[in-house]
């Protein structure tokens, strides 16, 4: 079957990609949505997402009351809620064992905030990334079990059989990572990605699972004639975790993020207020800010500093403590960026030298900091458009972190390779995974992972493509247009921001800014022009190609966004590709 014509006839762009646009069915849906009264640009976005006119209103206003699933649809939820309420009623000693990333920290903060409102305190324990590694370990669980009656493991624990057995007290696991064939000896394992669960809620992050537990706990309190804490005020934590953990923004996750952003804009949580201020965030946050401004700072403690800083920041009710923690995390984030840049440079060179044409891109280096390998894996994934794994070697072993692309279940591949003996251990979920590998088995392990990913049918096509949602002219790019498009958000994993093509625009100016970015000014002869920026353009062929074509007409493709400066908002194009007009 012949492929449809290339969009704007771009068979090979300046980065070697073929542009594709809406097909006939999408075009018909777009027309129907326009006829129903939606602006053309918004209509094209809705059509690309398969939203018919009759469902558009509900899609544009995702409400928790409409989308929240029944918590009891998850296995062990009833047992977990009963045990939590019994611990609260009995004044029992409760510990929260959390992962050191944003999802773990936000999950822990949810529980601590809820328990505080119930008049109870909890012990927070987050393992050191380097000394203890991911998830429950025997010494920590044994010590916590000796001093507590109940341990809540959040964003970890599903594969921690030995550590949970060593606890000596009741353990409830609230997780979302891929489960094995057997479950650990916990009182309850609430995890939508258990092997005996359906796939309906597999898109939840751990904070989403914890939120459902608290919904069920509150429901039981109401049935007993008591009032539970205000859960709607806690949606800021769920939104932060959902975006930062790259959970798909579909179903209830859209409502979590949309309503959580509204909660965050009210600036009621001291930790997020302090972090927003230290980051210079002077306007209501968006999903982009959660993923690229706040999330990295919360993560910084677990990556290069004290592992519990992020969770403590999110859980504190003291503005002065929040300010001190936020400043420390901001400084650690700057240090993390310096370390990351050095590792990324080496990893990119190594991946390119090895050749990145197969289904998996990987790199490994001596002493690479465990706190940045996940971020570098993300950068490799973005650079090469396929799953990537980065391994830091130390002695006879290497600790690795991987990030995936749509269509490739990296967590499953890693778990399978571990079961086959290629890895010492490994686990994760579809889009992210962690692993430990013997140094002398590194090459074999990566080859096996590449084979497993290829079997999933996720190998990249020979022709790289770039999907376009719609055409727009620079003179039409006004704030009202961007605000209308944002109504289809939030945008993120599995729901990318729409990409527009600007046909035959004049590239009036192009100047390098920072280390490798490019600022542009575009015109179509009908207005003052449109500002644009191409981040990282000089890491590849796009930057030099655009500079060389200053004064010429080009087709440009990218995302539209609002750039706020000195209290004013103007539209900016975030350029991703360009082609000869």
- Mean pLDDT across the stretch 292-299? 96
pLDDT at 1: 56
pLDDT over 90 (residue 234): yes
The arrangement of secondary structure in 355-455, i.e. its CATH architecture, is Roll (3.10)
Over residues 390-410, the mean pLDDT reads 93
Nearest residue to 157 (alpha-carbon basis) of 129, 178, 131, 181: 178
pTM: 0.88
- Is residue 482 within 8 Å of 571, Cβ to Cβ? yes
**What pLDDT score does 411 carry?**
92
**pLDDT at position 463, please?**
52
CA distances to 157, 415, 436 from 164, in Å: 8, 20, 20
Q: Taking residues 8-20, report their average pLDDT.
A: 94
Q: Please check the confidence at residue 106 and state whether its pLDDT lies above 90.
A: yes
**Rounded average pLDDT over 547-576:** 90
Task: Confirm or reject CATH 2.40.50.140 for domain 7-21+468-580, answering yes or no.
Answer: yes
- pLDDT category at 458 given cuts 50, 70, 90 is low
Confidence band (pLDDT; 50, 70, 90) for 391? very high
pLDDT bracket for residue 461 (50, 70, 90): very low
pLDDT tens figures, 243-270: 999 899 999 999 999 999 999 999 999 9
Q: What is the mean pLDDT of the chain?
A: 93
What's the token pair of residue 161?
């059989």
Spell out the residues 6+ positions from residue 576 whose beta carbon is closer than 8 angstroms to its own.
466, 499, 534, 557, 558, 559
For position 464, what pLDDT does the model report? 76
Identify the CATH assignment for 67-330 out of 3.40.190.10, 3.90.1640.30, 3.90.1580.10, 3.30.565.10.
3.90.1640.30
Q: What is the pLDDT of residue 462?
A: 44
């Amino acid at each position: 079957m012949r492929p449809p014509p290339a969009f704007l006839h771009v068979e090979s762009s300046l980065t070697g990609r073929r542009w594709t646009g809406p097909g006939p069915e999408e075009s018909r849906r777009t027309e129907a949505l326009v006829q129903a009264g939606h602006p053309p640009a918004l209509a094209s976005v809705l059509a690309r997402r398969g939203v018919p006119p009759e469902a558009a209103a509900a899609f544009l206003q995702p409400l928790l009351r409409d989308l929240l699933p029944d918590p009891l649809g998850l296995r062990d939820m009833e047992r977990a809620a009963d045990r939590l309420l019994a611990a609260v009623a009995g004044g029992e000693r409760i510990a929260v064992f959390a992962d050191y990333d944003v999802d773990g920290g936000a999950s822990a903060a949810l529980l601590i905030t809820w328990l505080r409102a119930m008049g109870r305190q909890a012990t927070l324990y987050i393992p050191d990334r380097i000394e203890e590694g991911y998830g429950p370990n025997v010494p920590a669980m044994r010590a916590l079990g000796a001093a507590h009656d109940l341990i809540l493991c959040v964003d970890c624990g599903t594969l921690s059989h030995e550590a949970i057995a060593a606890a000596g007290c009741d353990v409830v696991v609230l997780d979302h990572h891929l489960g094995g064939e057997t479950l650990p000896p916990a009182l309850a394992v609430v995890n939508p990605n258990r092997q005996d669960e359906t796939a309906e809620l597999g898109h939840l992050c751990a904070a989403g699972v914890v939120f459902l537990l608290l919904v069920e706990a509150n429901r039981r309190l109401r049935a007993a004639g008591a009032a539970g804490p205000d859960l709607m005020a806690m949606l800021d934590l769920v939104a932060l975790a959902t975006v930062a953990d790259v959970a798909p923004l579909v179903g209830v996750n859209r409502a979590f993020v949309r309503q959580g952003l509204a909660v965050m804009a009210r600036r009621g949580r001291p930790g997020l207020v302090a972090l927003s201020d230290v980051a210079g965030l002077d306007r209501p946050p968006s999903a982009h800010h959660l993923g690229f401004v706040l999330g990295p700072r919360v993560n910084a403690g677990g990556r290069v500093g004290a592992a519990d800083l992020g969770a403590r920041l999110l859980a504190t009710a003291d503005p002065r403590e929040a300010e001190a923690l936020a400043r420390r995390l901001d400084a650690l984030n700057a240090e993390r960026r310096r370390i990351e840049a050095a590792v990324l440079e080496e990893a990119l060179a190594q991946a390119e030298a090895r050749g990145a044409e197969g289904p998996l891109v990987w790199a490994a280096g001596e002493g690479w900091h465990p706190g940045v390998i996940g971020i570098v894996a993300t950068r490799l994934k973005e650079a090469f458009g396929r799953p990537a794994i980065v391994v830091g070697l130390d002695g006879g072993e290497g600790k690795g972190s991987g990030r995936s692309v749509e269509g490739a279940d990296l967590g499953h591949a890693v778990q399978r390779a571990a079961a086959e003996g290629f890895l010492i251990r490994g686990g994760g979920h579809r889009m992210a995974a962690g692993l430990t590998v013997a140094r002398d088995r590194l090459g074999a392990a990566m080859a096996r992972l590449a084979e497993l990913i290829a079997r999933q049918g996720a190998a990249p096509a020979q022709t790289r493509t770039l999907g376009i949602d719609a055409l727009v002219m620079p003179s039409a790019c006004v704030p009202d247009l961007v605000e209308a498009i944002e109504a289809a958000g939030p945008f993120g994993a599995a729901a990318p921001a729409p990409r527009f093509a600007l046909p035959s625009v004049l590239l009036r100016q192009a100047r390098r800014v920072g280390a490798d970015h490019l600022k542009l000014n575009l015109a179509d002869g009908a207005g003052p022009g449109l500002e644009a920026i191409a981040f990282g353009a000089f890491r590849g062929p796009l930057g030099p190609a655009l500079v060389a074509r200053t004064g010429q007409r080009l087709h440009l493709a990218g995302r539209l966004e609002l750039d706020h400066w000195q209290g004013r908002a103007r539209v900016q194009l975030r350029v991703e590709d360009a082609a000869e007009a």
